[in-house]
Amino acid sequence: MDILITTHGKLAEGLVSALSFITGTTENVSIVELDEMGIDNFRQRLHHKFNETSHSLIVLTDLKGGTPYNESFVYYLEHSEDIRVVSGVNLPMLIELATQVTSLNDLDQAVTIACEAGTNGVSVPDVVDDDDDMDF
């Protein structure tokens, strides 16, 4: 199984850079970013990536309803046996999924892992009294 990150601007590049920094690898992870070259150019690069992928593919997008999501979703509708699309990509989601992707065979399991890690990666710390010691 492969992971494709598709986002507006350089977000995907930054996520992969952070993934590499933290885990030391970006195996099975690729990106296609929507940039100033426009939607038609993006669509061509995205479809090229879809067509060159020989494995099952989970696509992580930045924003539901945005062009990267919409273009990926259209492809999903035509190839639902080989692809899943998840919006709201964040670093915890990517790390968890990327470290398990080579052992996964089930796209729906990958979606569950991505969604749980992405959700659990968002938190707000409790308020700490000035007298409390902070333990990390």
Is 3 in a helix, a strand, or coil?
strand
As a whole number, the mean pLDDT across the chain is: 94
Tokens of 35: 């940039």
Q: Is residue 131 part of a domain?
A: no
Q: Is residue 135 part of a domain?
A: no
**Amino acid at residue number 41:** N
Q: Is residue 136 part of a domain?
A: no
Q: Is residue 50 part of a domain?
A: yes
Task: Determine the average pLDDT of the residues in 53-64.
Answer: 94
> Of the candidates 90, 96, 91, which has an alpha carbon nearest to the alpha carbon of residue 113?
96
> Of the candidates 50, 120, 128, 119, which has an alpha carbon nearest to the alpha carbon of residue 85?
50
User: Which residue range(s) make up the domain with 110?
Assistant: 2-120
Q: How many domains does the chain have?
A: 1
CATH code: domain of residue 53? 3.40.50.510
Q: What is the pTM of this model?
A: 0.91
Q: Is residue 133 part of a domain?
A: no
Q: Indicate whether 133 pLDDT > 70.
A: no
Check: CB of residue 25 under 8 Å from CB of residue 59.
no
Task: Determine the average pLDDT of the residues in 123-132.
Answer: 76
pLDDT per residue as tens digits for the range 69-90:
999 999 999 999 999 999 999 9
Q: Is residue 134 part of a domain?
A: no
For the chain, strand residue ranges (E) read: 2-8, 29-34, 57-61, 83-87
Q: Is residue 127 part of a domain?
A: no
Task: Determine the average pLDDT of the residues in 50-70.
Answer: 95
Cα separations in angstroms, 72 against 19, 25, 62, 104, 116: 22, 25, 11, 21, 21
- Which of 4-13, 83-92, 98-107 has the weakest average pLDDT? 98-107
Task: Determine the average pLDDT of the residues in 100-115.
Answer: 94
Q: Is residue 125 part of a domain?
A: no
- The confidence score (pLDDT) of residue 132 equals 59
